[in-house]
Amino acid sequence: MIRFSVNINKFATLRNARGGNNPDVVKAAIDCERFGAQGITVHPRPDERHITYSDVLQLKNVVTTEFNIEGYPDQRYLKIIKEAKPAQATLVPDGPDVLTSNAGWDTIRNQEFLKDIISELKKTGVRVSVFVDPQPQMVEGAAKAGADRIELYTEPYAREFLVSPEIAVKPYIESAKVAHSLGLGINAGHDLDLHNLKFFAQAVPNLDEVSIGHAVVCDALYYGLENTLQLYLRQLKA
């Protein structure tokens, strides 16, 4: 069974646009779990434009499934991980001025940096995942740096899926095979949705987890949150 982690950043974006606490991000996380989510993902950025430091501290006390915290591994992020002690820390290469993650790590160029960060994070007992493009050499670099998992960046797949699903998914299949051979777990995320998720999940071998946020919130506007989560879970079970 491929685990479904819901990224709740967009709930926080909506709340912050108006101020106050509507929607309630903590309640959203609890409801997502109640409706079938097997994990909750957040990405607390330095400017707190969506998930805030306070949100993370509250969520660590209520999330009963897998808590996954994404972020660029600066000192602020390391402090958050040490305090929240999530199940998983996902390292992404984007700086504070980036709107959303748009590339994976160059795990070769950043090998020593990642190795040091991963070693420090593992002292806290968290599982470490590294966000990478679907390139075997980047997967190998993540393994060499000591990662437990990779998260395959799926925006290129989502874009090319509209032209040719078979061509779009090919590099992900190859990268997943390399990851599995190296003992890495395999996650995936970014622009996966109800249109392209089932094909991806069926094609990519040994997939452990998908993280989806933006599409879930968009679909929930039409289908309702509980129904939306069930629709996504069905794509992963098929």
Set 33, 50, 190, 209: catalytic member: 190
**Superfamily of domain 3-237, CATH level 4:** Aldolase class I (3.20.20.70)
Q: How far apart are CA 202 and CA 206, in angstroms?
A: 10
The verdict on whether 70 is a catalytic residue reads yes
166-195 pLDDT per residue, tens: 999 999 999 999 999 999 999 999 999 999
Q: Which residue has the higher pLDDT, 94 or 23?
A: 23
Set 33, 43, 140, 209: catalytic member: 43
pLDDT exceeding 90 applies to what percent of the chain? 94
**The residue to which tokens 């509980």 are assigned:** 226
pLDDT for 238 beyond 70: no
pTM: 0.95
* Peptide bond just before 205 cis, omega within 30 deg: no
What residues does each domain of the chain span? 3-237
204-221 pLDDT per residue, tens: 999 999 999 999 999 999
Mean pLDDT of 29-57: 96
Name the token pair of 24: 């309630």
Give how far Cα 177 sits from Cα of 1, 2, 30, 90, 124, Å: 18, 16, 34, 20, 29
Taking alpha carbons only, the member of 44, 42, 49 closest to residue 76 is 44
